[in-house]
A and B are shown apart, each in its own frame.
Chain A
């Protein structure tokens, strides 16, 4: 029996319905993908060398960009916050202002965005190319789970490297602020670091830590998923890579707000 065409007036509703169903299905696949990855992470065999390789790929190779962006972010913060505080005669608070901004907010967010741009996009492209050249199918027909070989090590590496990258970003950033505030603008070294010790507590550090940990999951989840579900050919890989970076970046900022609200 052939399907009767819908009346013209109902077609927009039909289109909305189809879009809604497709969106819910896509979300379901996205969630199931994470569930499968978590299941694989928690069950042996564990791919130790694949994890080391991913830590190198995501973390070690992002070191330079983290050092550069961390340093300059701290220097910009040092300059701008100093120029603002000096208007109120409160430049003594430069140290804690720089440190709190970096530790609670800018460190986790900016380092996650930087690692997304450098390693996340490469992760999507790498897995996407493996998909279109049937390398993932080759793993599957060998009765091996590609999620165990390609996704789980990346997610674990994200959990390990993102907090470390964030810590490095914060440290370099604080010294960037020191260079500008103390060495260039003449604030005393004791004031810069002394006030920091007074105002920054463990809760602030843990907030940055939990944020970076969750960003590690978000970025590797999105980027590996986009690689796995890539379209056809070079165009498909290019689109998946762009989508992965855009979606990861948006989710980082949205999740950052929610984490910030909950962990106040």
Chain B
């Protein structure tokens, strides 16, 4: 389980997280939604140890990871897979080398085993024939799939998705969501996803957390969030313009 307690983070005078609390159950898909610039990606960067909070703490299976550095933090990260917003594929490497990279460098597997697992990982995300292509030579949807394959190839326990469908058309959004759902059913990892895709994410999430002004204002199963009477939540999931009153 991932537990966030009273997380506070400011950049200069701008307070982004203001005492945020959240619990992510092991094996679940938890989706964090909220307005752009509301601190969702900042929260995610705290969970993966790329940012240190000004206050509060993050616990993974009961062990605090805030304040960890060097090898201790790397030990936690070995359990992680991360799909970044833009994919963050290494543009100097082919798609296959991107997927192979964590196997070679992180797990130090022999060449034959790496090749076998890369082939399986790319097939798993429905990609064949792109092995020798560079990220710049494939479409946005394919890049996301390669990024997912790279994040999952080491069989992590916890996978973070930072807006994995940004910039994709609605068909690809659904395709990627169902791909994530299918992979989750098969591999049983804990997924934490930041997303804007409403209502699509309600189909794949076990838990939805709504982040507003640096705090989680509502958390629960998709049905409960959709039926929420909280004005902020209703306004957000209905996409009502700023200042409009919820009915």
A interface residues with partner B (beta carbon < 8 Å): 130, 133-135, 137-138, 140-144
In this assembly, does B86 line the interface, its C-beta being within 8 Å of a C-beta of chain A?
A: yes
From known contacts A143-B74, A143-B78, infer whether A138 and B50 are also in contact, taking CB-CB under 8 Å.
no
With beta carbons under 8 angstroms apart, the residue of B88, B89, B90, B106 that contacts A143 is B106
Q: CA separation between A206 and B82, bound complex, in Å? A: 50
In this assembly, does B91 line the interface, its C-beta being within 8 Å of a C-beta of chain A?
A: yes
In this assembly, does B134 line the interface, its C-beta being within 8 Å of a C-beta of chain A?
A: no
Q: CA separation between A249 and B102, bound complex, in Å? A: 37
Which residues on the B side are within 8 Å of A138 (C-beta)? 82, 84, 88-90
**Nearest CB in chain A to that of B49: its residue:** A141
Q: How would you classify the secondary structure of chain B's contact residues: helix, strand, loop or mixed?
A: loop
- In chain B, positions 53-109 with a C-beta closer than 8 Å to chain A are 74-75, 77-78, 80, 82, 84-86, 88-91, 101-102, 105-106
Q: CA separation between A144 and B90, bound complex, in Å? A: 14
Decide if B106 touches A134 in the complex (CB within 8 Å). no
Decide if A142 touches B77 in the complex (CB within 8 Å). yes
Decide if A137 touches B88 in the complex (CB within 8 Å). yes
Minimum CB–CB distance for A29 against chain B, Å? 15
Q: CA separation between A138 and B146, bound complex, in Å? A: 13
8 pairs, A vs B, C-beta closer than 8 Å = A133-B91, A135-B89, A135-B90, A137-B82, A141-B49, A143-B74, A143-B75, A143-B106
Minimum CB–CB distance for A127 against chain B, Å? 12
In this assembly, does B193 line the interface, its C-beta being within 8 Å of a C-beta of chain A?
A: no
With beta carbons under 8 angstroms apart, the residue of A130, A133, A141, A144 that contacts B80 is A141
In this assembly, does B176 line the interface, its C-beta being within 8 Å of a C-beta of chain A?
A: no
Q: CA separation between A133 and B91, bound complex, in Å? A: 10
From known contacts A134-B84, A134-B88, infer whether A141 and B48 are also in contact, taking CB-CB under 8 Å.
yes
Which residues on the A side are within 8 Å of B78 (C-beta)? 143
Which residues on the A side are within 8 Å of B77 (C-beta)? 140-143
Decide if A134 touches B86 in the complex (CB within 8 Å). yes
Q: Looking at B48, B49, B50, B105, which has the most chain A CB atoms within 10 Å of its CB?
A: B105
Decide if A135 touches B50 in the complex (CB within 8 Å). no
Which residues on the B side are within 8 Å of A141 (C-beta)? 48-50, 77, 80, 82
Q: CA separation between A141 and B79, bound complex, in Å? A: 10
Decide if B85 touches A134 in the complex (CB within 8 Å). yes
Minimum CB–CB distance for B103 against chain A, Å? 10
Which residues on the B side are within 8 Å of A135 (C-beta)? 88-91
Minimum CB–CB distance for B90 against chain A, Å? 6
From known contacts A142-B105, A144-B105, infer whether A137 and B74 are also in contact, taking CB-CB under 8 Å.
no
